[in-house]
Structure 1
Amino acid sequence: MRAVVLDGPGGPEALRLRTVPVPRPHAGQVLVRVLAFGLNRSELHFRRGQATSGSFPRIPGIEAAGVVEEAPGGELAPGTQVAAMMGGMGRTLDGGYAEYVVVPATQLVPFTSALPWDVLGAVPEMLQTAHGSLTVGVRATPGQSLLIRGGTSSVGLTLTVLARMRGLTVLSTTRSAARRALLERHGAQHALVDDGLVAEQVRAIAPGGVDGAVELVGVDALRDTLRAVRPGGTVCFTGMLSDRWTVPEFYPMDWLPNGVRLTAYSGDAADLPAPVLQGFLDAVADGRATVPVGRVYRLDEIVQAHRDMEAGTVGGKGVVSL
């Protein structure tokens, strides 16, 4: 099979397309024929050698979408459409950047859909992260207001879609005025240009502060995001688009406004229930939801795909279609 192999940390050119043996599944594992996979910043971090886990050489990729080829334990019938994600994929196990991948059966979410594979490949990890941030991290309810800091990211755009489907008012940010239309196209009622002082803009719209916020930019924006939320509201720290992961000197009494809660979200395949995935795909098929696909690549374009992801020019979710 064709697969992208990373022998060690490096730039995009370290991703090498090779011919390798098709992996064989053991009991409790499933062989999946990969038809598409989404690109994620965590794969960029792994490629750079910034990940906290993993080993080389490795086929990267924390997710994939395709069909079951073989399941020795009988967990899923051959031909079943599945989404695979996490569980060590692309870190301690070879991942989705290949024509076939072996994953634990517990890391698969089955679905049925006639949507194109380049759309299906964009969904799994993006939906899992957005759904978990909204329901576990923020615990948003209909009628509330939500700030999405880093709204033009694939997770940010999906959060907007999910929040609007749940009846929330969405305020979403971008660093570029030219991308405000992208936020509005996916349903944001208030598209804000992030000048570093988003809290002031938010409180001009919602004087008491928003009910909740999802932080996707990173710790350099977190303090301002906290100040955009009302007492009793919640900020969920989910993403690190700025690649800044830790706060050197965190003084809670100074950072946290009175009564504002700070949570975090980082999920796994088990955090995306099959009915949630199926319901979202059905909503996309019916035109009630959209999938923010930015650009579709071929497997032999993986180096360019990582360059674009690193430069932030994909404009949504990057997908590789096989």
Structure 2
Amino acid sequence: MESMLAAVLHQPGGAENLVLEERSIPVSVGDHVLIKVKAFGLNRSELMTRKGLSPEVSFPRVLGIECVGEVEEDPSGEFKKGQKVAAFMGGMGRDFDGSYAQYCLVPKSIIQPFISNLSWDKLGAIPEMFQTVYGSLHLALKIHKGEVILIRGGTSSIGMLAIKLAKLHGLTVLATTRNPSKKELLAVNGADHVLIDDGSLVSKVKRLYPNGVTKTLELIGATTLKDSLDCTAPFGTVCMTGMLSEQWSINDFAPMEYIPATVNLTIYDSGQIRVEKEHFQQFILDLEAGRIELSLNRTFNLKDIKEAHLTMESNAGAGKIVVLTN
């Protein structure tokens, strides 16, 4: 039986627990498609799973909630061998083995075909980053031209792309970073105002916009959510999408005290609602035409997965980290 390389997590812990092993290539059956993985992006949720902060995940497990590659085998015949596809969050790397491998077997329901001449390192950055940003801005926040948006966690890969897409749609953007040395990075990326986030932004935001911002994209998570709600104007909306703080829940949550009157609170989770495939293909076309530019951090090889995780964990640089499998 043919074999492949996979990064296997036998038990949660540090990056050193990711072990490169030779495994049998999975066999495609039923409504599952075998993908020859070309590249995948790293995600903070994978870091949390690696640390043992995803209690529903059993081990050993191959992590990885997204990938791009080519169809190796589809028993149904819907996808052709060699066809370019992306796989999105929907149990990958959590309920079943994911993309930290040269091949992965995934349900047909989480696959989207696409056409592109972009290199695999660029394509590998796109699936979940695009889904999350587009879904947060358009499906959850329902942004409109002329609005003011606060993007909290602006130097993350999601934050960097959110700034660009918000500007492209005519919004004024406030973006945050905890690191003063990254202010210029956010300004160059398109932010109209850059705020240093010390955990409390209300006074800084309301010096600029006394009533608060129209929309807020919360990427830090539960630790700053209350402050983000307070930064948002009446009838505005906060979307909690990210958990850079690695905190899932809020202790002693009292909605009547926590949420300001008339401010809306929602979330976006690409595992629950997926952006329609035509928007994904259009995003790729926009990249190819130079209308949008990706913010990439570093590219690693699968054999360097431990170093890739350490880079993500250290918050070094900004933008998406991509891993190639060849």
Aligned to 2:90: 87
2: CA distance, partners of 1:293 / 1:39: 11
1:267 to 270, 291, 295: 270
Matching of residue 198 in structure 1 with residue 201 in structure 2: yes
Q: Is the 8 A contact 1:2 1:98 kept in 2?
A: yes
Q: Secondary structure at the match of 1:20?
A: strand
Q: Deviations over 1:130-156 (max 9, x none)?
A: 111112221111221110111111111
Aligned to 2:120: 117
Aligned to 1:285: 288
Aligned to 2:305: 302
Identity of aligned residues (%): 45
User: What is the CA distance between 1:269 and its match in structure 2?
Assistant: 8.1
Q: Deviations over 1:3-35 (max 9, x none)?
A: 111111121000001111111111211111111
Give the paired residue count. 322
**Residues 15-164 of structure 1: pairs in structure 2 closer than 5 A:** 15-164=18-167
1: CA distance, partners of 2:205 / 2:242: 20
Equivalent AA in structure 2 for residue 155 of structure 1:
I
Q: Deviations over 1:45-70 (max 9, x none)?
A: 11111113222111111111111111
Q: Is the 8 A contact 1:109 1:269 kept in 2?
A: no
1: CA distance, partners of 2:140 / 2:294: 22
Ranges in structure 2 where 5+ consecutive residues have no aligned partner: none
1:317 to 292, 317, 320: 320
Q: Is the 8 A contact 1:39 1:319 kept in 2?
A: yes
Q: Deviations over 1:99-148 (max 9, x none)?
A: 11111111101111111111110110111111111122211112211101
Equivalent AA in structure 1 for residue 290 of structure 2:
G
Equivalent AA in structure 1 for residue 221 of structure 2:
G
1: CA distance, partners of 2:293 / 2:189: 7
Q: Secondary structure at the match of 1:235?
A: strand
Q: Secondary structure at the match of 1:223?
A: helix
Equivalent AA in structure 1 for residue 34 of structure 2:
L
Q: Is the 8 A contact 1:107 1:269 kept in 2?
A: no
Equivalent AA in structure 1 for residue 112 of structure 2:
V
Aligned to 2:224: 221
1:13 to 16, 29, 35: 16
User: What is the CA distance between 1:198 and its match in structure 2?
Assistant: 1.4
Q: Using a 3 Å threshold, how does the CA distance of structure 1 residues 314 and 69 change in structure 2: closer, same or farther?
A: farther
Q: Deviations over 1:264-295 (max 9, x none)?
A: 11123861221111111111111111111111
TM-score, normalised on structure 1?
Answer: 0.96
Matching of residue 240 in structure 1 with residue 250 in structure 2: no
Q: Using a 3 Å threshold, how does the CA distance of structure 1 residues 279 and 239 change in structure 2: closer, same or farther?
A: same
Q: Secondary structure at the match of 1:219?
A: coil
Q: Secondary structure at the match of 2:322?
A: strand
Q: Secondary structure at the match of 1:181?
A: helix
Q: Secondary structure at the match of 2:6?
A: strand
Q: Deviations over 1:164-222 (max 9, x none)?
A: 12111111100111111221222211111112221211122222211100111122211
Q: Deviations over 1:77-103 (max 9, x none)?
A: 122111102221111211000111111
